[in-house]
A and B are shown apart, each in its own frame.
Chain A
Amino acid sequence: MNLDYLWSGFAVALSAQNLLIGLIGAFIGTMVGALPAIGPINGIALLLPIAYTMGLPPESTMILLAAVYCGAEYGGRISSILLNVPGDAGAVMTAMDGNPMARQGRAGEALMLSGIASFAGGMIGATGLALFAPLLASIAIGFGPAEYFVLMVFAFATLGSMVGSAPAKTLIGCVLGLMLATVGLDATSGAYRFTFNEPELGDGIEFVVLVIGLFSISEALLILENQTKGHTVIREMGRMLARWSDIVKITGATLRGSIIGFVVGVLPGTGASVSSSVSYTTEKRISNSHDTFGKGDVRGLAAPESANNATACGAFVPMLTLGVPGSGTTAVMLGALMLYNIQPGPMLIAERPEIVGGLIASLFIGNILLLVLNLPLVNIFARILTLPNWILVPGILTLSVVGVYSTHSSIFSVILMLGIGMVGWLLRKGGFDMAPIILGFVLGRVMEVNLRNALAISGGDIGILFQSKISLILWAMAIGIAFVPVLLARRAKKRRIAAEQVEQSA
């Protein structure tokens, strides 16, 4: 396997400027993750216009955003453990055993053990990314437009099947994103679609406008609504060093969590929230012989924490090699690359090794920086939890407005962002997830272009979508992933009913 791109990536990531950018990103990311108000997507969305305005080269922007992403996965555990409120979606399961540990006066140990699990997850994930990315890229080189179209159908099927409580709502989110992507000039026919004669919509809805509106603005409205619900920060840290016996005890859980996390991350669209819950339930099934899970078991803490960090790395595999993001946050990062007119795909490693290699190398370096930052500075990060909303939220809103204005110098964009934010709030109240909309949006144009190119090749014959072996495998996987969970749930329900009937008759 040729890993030259990785070695040249280390040269990029170890330059003084990129090291500093990585360190700043790791610090900001941990803060962003720790604050329950803002998750990794918000942090990246708000930093994106700043990075773009600063004129950073694409590899440095990617290093910054990746550091924020991984940092947020580290930081999320702090509020889960001390506040019992997850700092981001990936840290929901960390609270299950982390908060009981903190209540038992073992907050310091919980933070250190979860820090170690996060580090292991991040390093295993980054290794997996370095090894699998070239492999997947070499397979994907054989993809034509038809295969790409089916790949995107597969991505949406995975998303619908694995994310959210109602698959229809997740898929509606995807379709809404695809619809938003059709706004603007259609390059092949020169037609303006859904622009309502507004010249500023001619180039389509700007990515920064959509992502900041959907995440930051709607989040601010939700925070105001929920701010009366108070939570108590646990301040009693106890001993800060973990026991050696506990570190040994979490080894198995951490390894399993990391592998599950990486595999889930590679699946298109499924992020840390899925992997952490899958790894927690798996670990519970394997290790919960004494019914200690949910009461402060260190393995219940390590499994989801290692998984969510491994997922963050795994999610880069499909994003960098296929152009299909592995999670909501990597969807935003894909959008960031598109701002630089870079379309990720199987040729990216060969054509822009500094971006792919630099990014992967920065994940290794970033994880070491994060461990070093997180172990001694955890008290400082914990103090951030007490930052009042009346300082934080106006700051987020002002940064949103000025971020969009600085990228486009247009009041129209700012107003559009606010409108999108209100729609986002309505959708979130209705139980819709925002990540599928972003995923639909970043894939929209590519999906349509590939469908049209495929049909142009076949002269309009739709059979081209079912011709190649790769397409057929992808169709089978899409159908399998969409329907197998439904069939399994039905079977389980039937069995349960049958068991209840047997019990009643007995």
Chain B
Amino acid sequence: MSHLSTHPRRTGLIGAACLLLLALAYGIGGSTITYAFASDPLGPRVFPVILAIALAVLCIFYARTPGDAEEFPRGLTMVRIMAIPVTLIVFCLLMETIGFPIMVFCIVTIISALFGASFVLSAIGGVIQAALWWFIFSYLLEVYLPVGSLFG
């Protein structure tokens, strides 16, 4: 990752290569769509194939003139950044089990700490936000939010 950072051109080449692969996969996927009938001359395949070709052509221009790109983070910063989606995914998957309030408490506490707040402040923030969002969504907006199978 760190090598990507210093050269927008290299970022452009890698980005263009990834997008080219996407165009290829999408084009193949699009051209092999199965359908029983089509009420128009184009059918469901042609538009995706046109898009795949357009993306592939644009990738060439992108690789030639990559424009601006930011540096990719390294080391601890990268770990901290990745910790956000990992925290969110883990606790969202646990939502039905641990319930919405505890999920919010955990997410807010961990992410506040990632942003440099002390543990106590993070936990207080977690309690307040869990109560606030529960009140707004469950009481005011009457949205069903799981209490958690752990608590019956």
Contact = CB atoms under 8 A, between A and B. Distances in A.
Interface of A: 50, 53-54, 164-169, 171-172, 175-176, 178-179, 182, 186, 188-191, 193-194, 217, 220-221, 224-225, 227, 388-391, 393-395, 397-399, 401-402, 405-406, 409, 411, 414-415, 418, 421-422, 425, 428-431, 448, 451-453, 455-456, 459-460
Contacts of B121: 390
A430 B15 contact: yes
Contact of A394 (B19, B40, B112, B145): B112
A393 B19 contact: no
Contacts of B141: 50, 53-54, 406
Contact of A422 (B26, B43, B47, B85): B85
B54 A191 contact: no
A164 B68 CA distance: 9
A182 B30 CA distance: 10
Contacts of A418: 85, 88-89, 92
Contacts of B72: 429
Contact of A188 (B39, B48, B95): B39
Given A166-B67, A389-B115, A189 B92 contact: no
B51 to A, nearest CB: 5
Given A172-B55, A390-B116, A189 B38 contact: yes
Contacts of A448: 47
Given A402-B145, A415-B93, A191 B41 contact: no
Given A168-B58, A398-B133, A175 B125 contact: no
Contact of B69 (A168, A194, A401, A430): A430
A193 B126 CA distance: 41
30 contacts: A53-B137, A166-B62, A166-B65, A166-B66, A168-B62, A169-B62, A169-B67, A178-B51, A182-B51, A186-B33, A190-B35, A191-B34, A193-B30, A221-B85, A225-B81, A227-B116, A390-B112, A390-B113, A393-B115, A394-B112, A394-B126, A397-B88, A402-B137, A411-B96, A415-B92, A418-B92, A430-B11, A430-B12, A452-B42, A460-B41
B36 interface: yes
B7 interface: no
B103 to A, nearest CB: 8
B107 A189 contact: no
Contacts, number: 189
Interface on chain B toward A: helix, strand, loop, or mixed SS?
helix
B48 A182 contact: yes
Contacts of A164: 67
B68 A431 contact: yes
B50 to A, nearest CB: 9
A439 B141 CA distance: 30
Nearest to A399: B133
Interface in B5-42: 8, 11-12, 15, 19, 26, 29-30, 33-42
A391 B51 contact: no
B104 interface: yes
A422 B81 CA distance: 10
Nearest to B121: A390
A453 B40 contact: yes
Contacts of B95: 405, 411
Contact of B37 (A175, A190, A225, A388): A190
Nearest to A421: B85
A193 B46 CA distance: 12
Interface in B51-100: 51, 54-55, 58-59, 61-62, 65-70, 72-73, 77, 80-81, 84-85, 88-89, 92-93, 95-96, 100
Contacts of B34: 191
A217 B42 CA distance: 37
Interface residues of B, number: 70
Nearest to A192: B33
B125 A391 contact: yes
Contact of A429 (B69, B84, B96, B111): B69
9 closest Cβ pairs, A-B complex: A166-B67, A191-B35, A460-B41, A168-B61, A390-B115, A390-B117, A456-B40, A186-B44, A394-B108
A185 to B, nearest CB: 10
A193 B44 contact: yes
A190 B36 contact: yes
A409 B81 CA distance: 27
A421 B87 CA distance: 14
Given A390-B112, A411-B92, A455 B41 contact: yes
B144 interface: yes
Max chain A Cβ within 10 angstroms of own Cβ: one of B41, B65, B84, B89: B84
B43 A189 contact: yes
Nearest to A168: B61
Contacts of A182: 30, 47-48, 51
Max chain B Cβ within 10 angstroms of own Cβ: one of A165, A225, A409: A225
A189 to B, nearest CB: 4
Nearest to B94: A411
Contact of A393 (B26, B66, B111): B111
A53 B145 CA distance: 13
B114 interface: yes
A398 B127 CA distance: 13
Contacts of A189: 35-39, 43-44
B143 interface: yes
B125 to A, nearest CB: 6
Nearest to B5: A429
B122 A390 contact: yes
Contacts of B67: 164-166, 168-169, 431
